[in-house]
Amino acid sequence: MTALLILGSGGHGKVVAETAIATGQFQTIGWLDDAPSQSTVLGFPVLGAIAKFQDTDLQQRYPQAIVAIGNPKLRLQWLRQLQVQGYKIPTLVHPQSVVSPSATLGLGSVVFAQAAINAEAHLGMGCIVNTGATVDHDCQLGAGVHCCPGSHLAGEVQVGERSWIGIGAAVIQQISIGSDVTIGAGATVIRNLPDGVTAVGVPARVLSPVSPC
Whether the Cβ atoms of residue 177 and residue 183 lie closer than 8 Å to each other: yes
- Dist. CA 74–CA 157, nearest whole Å: 25
Our answer to whether residue 137 is catalytic in this structure is: yes
Element (H, E) at 45: strand 44-45
- Dist. CA 195–CA 191, nearest whole Å: 13
Terminal Cα-to-Cα distance of the chain (whole angstroms): 35
Catalytic residue of the set 94, 122, 137, 152: 137
Q: Tell me the CA distances in angstroms from 39 to 12, 35, 45, 52, one per residue in order.
A: 17, 10, 6, 15
Whether the Cβ atoms of residue 32 and residue 5 lie closer than 8 Å to each other: yes
Whether the Cβ atoms of residue 180 and residue 162 lie closer than 8 Å to each other: yes
- Dihedral over alpha carbons 39, 44, 47, 50 (to 10 degrees): -100
The three state secondary structure string of 96-135 is CCEECCCCEECCCCEECCCCEECCCCEECCCCEECCCCEE
Report, as residue numbers or ranges, the catalytic residues: 137
